[in-house]
Amino acid sequence: MIKKQQLVDQVIEYLSNTIASGIYKIGDKLPTEPKLMVGLGVGRSTLREAIRALAHNEILEVRQGDGTYIRSFPSSGEPLRQRLRRAKVDEVQAVRRILELEIVQLAARQHKKADQKLILGHLKSRRAALARNDIPALLDADVAFHCALAEATGNEVLSDLYRTFALSLRDALTTLWDTADHDQSKMAMLHDSLFEAISARDAVRAESITLALLDRHSATLSEADAKHN
C-alpha cells in the first residue's frame, strides 16, 4: 500500500514536471480540483497538501473562490521538500533545535496581537485533539502552532524556511509519538507555558521552555535507539 505522504510527493513531482514542461504559462489557471483528483487518481486531502506545498514554494498561487494559478516555474534540481523527506529523525531534531530557539526569541519580541490570537487558536486545537486522543489532529495542530510562532517573528525568510522544514517535522513527530511513553501532560503544560512566555514578551523564558521541549524529544529518541540496539 502506498502511504499518503508518498502520494503527496508523487503529485508534487507530477505537477512540477507538468508546469516545467511548458504546458502552462505564468498566470494560467490549473484545472479544477475535481478534474485534478480524477486525472491523478488521488483524494482531496492529498491534492490539497501537494498544492499547498507548491504554493509555499511560490510555484502556485491559490486564490480563494477563484482557483489555483501558475505563479512561477520550478527551479532545476530536486525540490528541497523532497530532500527533506529523506532526512533522518535525529537530523530533523538537530535542525529543529537551531531554528526553534531563534524563532521563539524573535516571536516573543516581535509578535503582534493577530499573531498571538493565531498561536492560541492552534494551541486550543492541540488541547482538544489531545483530549479526544486524536493523534493525527494533535500532530497537525502541534506543527501549525510552531509554524505560527515562526510567522510571529516577522521574518518572512525564516517563516518560509520553517514552514518547508515543518513538512519533515510532521513525519519526525509521528516517529517520536510512536516511540514515546505517551505521557503527554507535561508536554501540554510546556506548550501552554511557551504561549504564556511569548505573550508576555519574555524571550529568555520562551527559550528555556523550548529547550525543555526539545530535550524531552531528544530523550525519547535516545530511548528508542537504546531499545533497538
| pLDDT tens-digit profile, the chain (229 residues) | 334 457 888 898 888 888 877 777 889 999 999 999 998 999 999 999 999 989 888 889 999 889 999 988 776 544 555 556 556 767 777 888 899 999 999 999 999 999 999 999 999 999 999 999 898 888 889 889 999 999 999 998 898 888 877 767 776 667 666 655 556 788 899 999 999 999 999 999 999 999 999 888 777 766 655 565 5
Number of other CB atoms surrounding residue 222 within 10 Å: 11
Q: Which amino acid is at 154?
A: G
Q: In this predicted structure, what is the pLDDT of residue 153? A: 96
Q: In this predicted structure, what is the pLDDT of residue 3? A: 44
What's the distance, CA 150 to chain centroid? 11
Domains, the chain, in order of start with CATH, read: 4-70 (1.10.10.10), 87-228 (1.20.120.530)
Q: In this predicted structure, what is the pLDDT of residue 206? A: 97
Long-range residue pairs from 85-93, CB within 8 A, at least 24 positions apart, any chain:
85/5, 85/9, 85/167, 85/168, 85/171, 87/168, 89/171, 89/172, 89/175, 89/176, 89/221, 90/221, 92/165, 92/168, 92/169, 92/171, 92/172, 93/172, 93/214, 93/217, 93/218, 93/221
DSSP 19-43: HHTTSS-TTPBPPPHHHHHHHHT--
Q: Which amino acid is at 109?
A: R
Alpha carbon distance 131, 125 (integer Å): 10
> If you count them, how many residues does the chain have?
229
pTM: 0.62
Alpha carbon distance 14, 8 (integer Å): 10
CB 130 within 8 A of CB 184: yes
